[in-house]
Amino acid sequence: MADIIQLLPDHVANQIAAGEVVQRPASVVKELIENAVDAGSTSIKLIIKDAGKTLIQVVDNGKGMSVTDARMSFERHATSKIKAAEDLFQLHTKGFRGEALASIAAIAHVEMNTCQEGDEVGTQLKIEGSKIVDQGVTVTPKGTSLLVKNLFFNIPARRNFLKSDTVELRHIIDEFQRVALAHPTIQFDFYNNGSELFNLPASNLRQRIVHIFGGKTNEKLVPVEEDTEVVNLSGFICKPEFAKKTRGEQFFFVNNRFVKNSYLHHAVCSAFEGLMKEQTHPSYFLFLEVDPSGIDINIHPTKTEVKFDDEHALYAILRASVKHSLGQFNVAPVLDFERDANLDTPYNYKSKNADFPTVEVDANFNPFEKESKGGISVGYQKREKPQASWENLYVGLERKSDFSSIELESEEVTGSLFNNENEELAATTYQLHKKYIVTTIKSGMVIINQHRAHQRVLYEQYLKNITVDKGVSQQLLFPLILSFSKTEIALLKELKDSLENTGFLFSNFKEDEVEVSGIPLNISESEVAIIVDQLLSDFQSEVPESSLSQADILAKAMCKTLAVKSGELLNITSQEALVNNLFATKEPTVSPFNKPTYITMTVEEIDKRFL
């Protein structure tokens, strides 16, 4: 029998490896930026077009590569980071897999321009589908410039699975922010379709967080710092009152590498327990420095999941450190960089006790006592109570009244409450425990969940306004200024048209602020920020590609926030209006989130309960 096992050609093996390394354009961005960081760059530029599908370019001013290194970097399992198996447990760099550039070159058109310091000319390589089509000498500044064009050009099936440009851009921004936060001393620039998205100068961690997530973030941050034998912990957490409905601003870095770890995330959340509202999530930017031999980062292709040797100790240290910072953020002077040093307590008074004021009371003082000073009488004169002639109240009551001659006016019955004894009772409503509305029907009674019923009514109303009509807007005398991150501002711009159909009016968009000049009629000003936050949290997970699904998510977000809550007292008029509006909708049986809005109980079912 002939042998059937054979080695795969290099270009096929590279495409298979690309399936693990390159899932979407954001994967290419991550690999290229991390290589630029490992090259010792102090300035890195990221340029993309069409959310990375057409062009991804990373330009750095690192140490560059020689002609041989430039050619070898595109070979499989070629890396400068490790030389022996033991090096896998002493990693201090980003990329070490040795398959990134080879995998990218297998599914795209790649052009590299690199030059080492001191060389007059550099090297240029052009690769298409793992094949080197051109190699030559070029004039280029010190560092490396990598261009990745036409991603997945030879795998159209993978290209068809990519999401819309808005979704892919958000994934690229996520990867960019993770690397930028881990290296605040490096300058980063990000350009999308010719416009600048981020310009992050070299700074410290606090300033880098503010540059990425907006100027309002500075007042939210609380420093965390703890040095132990197990881990050196540093970074910032956000105050509990600024907790968000989304999990976007949650970052763990282990040895300057972004990781995801649900166990450590639970430690942070447990420290915030009892301080946040329900269904909100804390924001944090925490850096853990541990011994590289005590972690395993090679358990997932994306290197975002790590395994710790002593997770229980890390959990306890992280939880205690966050709790300690939360307990001190109200009084810690380091939170205010513009504090007045004169208000600090001098060291000379550190061990002294405070002097408490004393109150002296004259026990013999009587303000009602008469005293004579210089012939003038001082004090209060006691008034004499007037004599009440209470006997006058009973004058004329000596005679006994005779009630025998009194006649009562007859009451004539003009009608009956029920014209016919067999006629059905009129429908009435009753609110049960401020949560349910009970009303009667011919066969028995209906118990309606007021929150879900109102959600259904509002959902269909907003969906109609967005898709068919245009919602009525009320102009604000003083426009509202809402602060968001650059990513959220970009998302609001995408939703601007749909929001304006519901009644919102946006007069001005800035880098980290938006001005709201009009709101829908049934919304108060205090609810605007809550609605927009809820809207962004629903859209953060997945931005819909079609306008119909976008309108659906928008209507759901608004009805979820504006519907009457369980525990709200409704008068009879509101109860009847809600019942009538519910059964006038197209789908009264379920809420917009596919949960039942009401249940029915027939008379027979009630009778069985009394058997």
Q: Which of 181-195, 280-294, 381-395 has the lowest mean pLDDT?
A: 381-395
pLDDT tens figures, 143-169: 999 999 999 888 888 888 888 787 888
Higher local confidence (pLDDT), 133 or 548 = 133
Nearest Cα residue to 37 out of 205, 208, 182: 182
Most confidently modeled range among 134-148, 316-330, 384-398: 134-148
The gap from C-alpha 82 to its chain's centroid, in whole angstroms, comes to: 39
Percent of the chain scoring above 70 in pLDDT: 78
Q: Which of 193-202, 301-310, 431-440, 526-535 has the lowest mean pLDDT?
A: 301-310
For residue 331, pLDDT beyond 70 = no
The beta strand positions in 150-207, using DSSP E, are 187-192, 195-200
Burial 318-349 (b: 16+ CB within 10 A, else e): bbebbbebbeebeeeeebeeeeeeeeeeeeee
> What mean pLDDT comes out for the span 462-477?
79
What the chain holds in terms of domains, given with CATH numbers, is: 10-200 (3.30.565.10), 205-294+308-330 (3.30.230.10), 436-599 (3.30.1370.100)
pLDDT tens figures, 199-247: 999 999 999 999 988 878 888 888 999 898 888 999 999 988 888 877 7
Task: Report the pLDDT value the prediction gives residue 336, as an integer from 0 to 100.
Answer: 52
Distance linking the first and last C-alpha atoms of the chain: 80
For residue 558, pLDDT beyond 60 = yes
Percent of the chain scoring above 90 in pLDDT: 23
Structure tokens that stand for 363 in this block: 């026990």
Continuous segment of H or E residues that includes residue 210: helix 205-213
Higher local confidence (pLDDT), 330 or 536 = 536
Give the angle 31-34-38 at the CA atoms, nearest 5°: 135
Q: pLDDT-derived band of residue 96, with 50, 70 and 90 as boundaries?
A: very low
Cα–Cα separations (whole angstroms), residue 441 to 444, 465, 598, 609: 5, 32, 13, 19
pLDDT tens figures, 576-609: 899 999 999 999 999 998 899 999 999 999 898 8
CB atoms within 10 A of CB 421: 6
Q: Which of 313-317, 379-383, 392-396, 516-520 has the lowest mean pLDDT?
A: 379-383
Higher local confidence (pLDDT), 522 or 578 = 578
Structure tokens that stand for 320 in this block: 């205690």
For residue 545, pLDDT beyond 80 = no
Most confidently modeled range among 77-86, 471-480, 578-587: 578-587
236 vs 205: CA distance, rounded Å: 9
Cα–Cα separations (whole angstroms), residue 325 to 204, 234, 544: 20, 11, 39
> What mean pLDDT comes out for the span 379-400?
58
For residue 114, pLDDT beyond 80 = yes
Higher local confidence (pLDDT), 78 or 324 = 324
> What mean pLDDT comes out for the span 26-44?
91
Q: What is the CA radius of gyration of the chain?
A: 37
For residue 77, pLDDT beyond 70 = no
For residue 396, pLDDT beyond 80 = no
For residue 428, pLDDT beyond 90 = no
For residue 136, pLDDT beyond 60 = yes
Higher local confidence (pLDDT), 123 or 277 = 123
110 vs 56: CA distance, rounded Å: 10
229 vs 231: CA distance, rounded Å: 6
For CA atoms 549, 551, 554, 558, the dihedral sign is negative
- Mean pLDDT score of the chain: 80
Cα–Cα separations (whole angstroms), residue 305 to 72, 259, 264, 295: 29, 5, 12, 10
pLDDT tens figures, 250-305: 899 988 888 888 888 999 999 888 888 777 888 999 999 988 877 766 655 556 77
298 vs 292: CA distance, rounded Å: 12
Amino acid found at 467: T
Nearest Cα residue to 282 out of 250, 235, 314, 236: 250
The residue assigned the tokens 């040797």 is 309
Question: What SS3 string covers 278-327?
Answer: CCCECCEEEEEECCHHHEECCCCCCCCCCEECCHHHHHHHHHHHHHHHHH
> What mean pLDDT comes out for the span 322-326?
88
Structure tokens that stand for 221 in this block: 């941050």
318 vs 237: CA distance, rounded Å: 12
Most confidently modeled range among 86-95, 374-383, 410-419: 86-95
For residue 504, pLDDT beyond 90 = no
> What mean pLDDT comes out for the span 69-85?
71
Pairing state between β 473-483 and 444-449:
unpaired
Higher local confidence (pLDDT), 496 or 319 = 319
